[in-house]
Amino acid sequence: MKLTLYTDYSLRVLMYLGMREEEKVQIDEIANFYNISKNHLTKVVHNLSKLGYITTVRGRGGGIMLNYKAEAINIGEVVRHTEDNFHMAECFSEGNQCVLTPVCGLRFVLNDALDAYFEVLDKYTLKDIIPKAMLR
């Protein structure tokens, strides 16, 4: 399974903020660090704020920062909240048109694989994935 760029950028923003815990950071700084579009990050930051992972402060002296300690942010949860769907095959979608669905066992195998995927992600927190060399 491949994560969308949106989820990738969401995790990167959280990792950067985790490296700069309790500091307000500008979106420009993160965009420059990762060499990615400020416009994309603005959308990601807006969503992370709506989800409650980060706090945004406008105006002079403003910026963004984590709402929680890095060890309190679960990676599996972040992925679940930032991915738009986990349709690994047609049979996972609402408009499933696959003629094999009534007799096919693939859906159950893929569902088990997806469960295992999240079981692994759920074992990790943001603190676990922050590059150790980058921590202050």
CATH code (residue 17):
1.10.10.10
| C-alpha dihedral sign at 80, 81, 83, 85 | positive
**Bigger pLDDT: 78 vs 87:** 78
On whether residue 45 sits in a domain, the answer given is yes
On whether residue 52 sits in a domain, the answer given is yes
On whether residue 34 sits in a domain, the answer given is yes
On whether residue 24 sits in a domain, the answer given is yes
Going by the DSSP 8-state scheme, the letter that residue 55 receives in this structure is E
On whether residue 56 sits in a domain, the answer given is yes
- What pLDDT sits at residue 91? 67
- What pLDDT sits at residue 122? 98
Q: CB burial class (10 A; 0-12, 13-18, 19+) of residue 120?
A: exposed
Supply the mean pLDDT for the chain: 89
Domain coverage including residue 71: 5-85+126-134
Q: CB burial class (10 A; 0-12, 13-18, 19+) of residue 103?
A: exposed
What's the number of domains the chain is made of?
1
Query: pLDDT-derived band of residue 88, with 50, 70 and 90 as boundaries?
Result: low
- What pLDDT sits at residue 103? 78
Residue 134 pLDDT > 70, yes or no? no
Contact between residue 9 and residue 117 where contact means Cβ atoms under 8 Å apart:
no
Q: Average pLDDT in the 60-83 region? A: 95
Residue labelled with tokens 């692994």: 120
On whether residue 94 sits in a domain, the answer given is no
Contact between residue 90 and residue 96 where contact means Cβ atoms under 8 Å apart:
yes
- What pLDDT sits at residue 60? 85
On whether residue 93 sits in a domain, the answer given is no
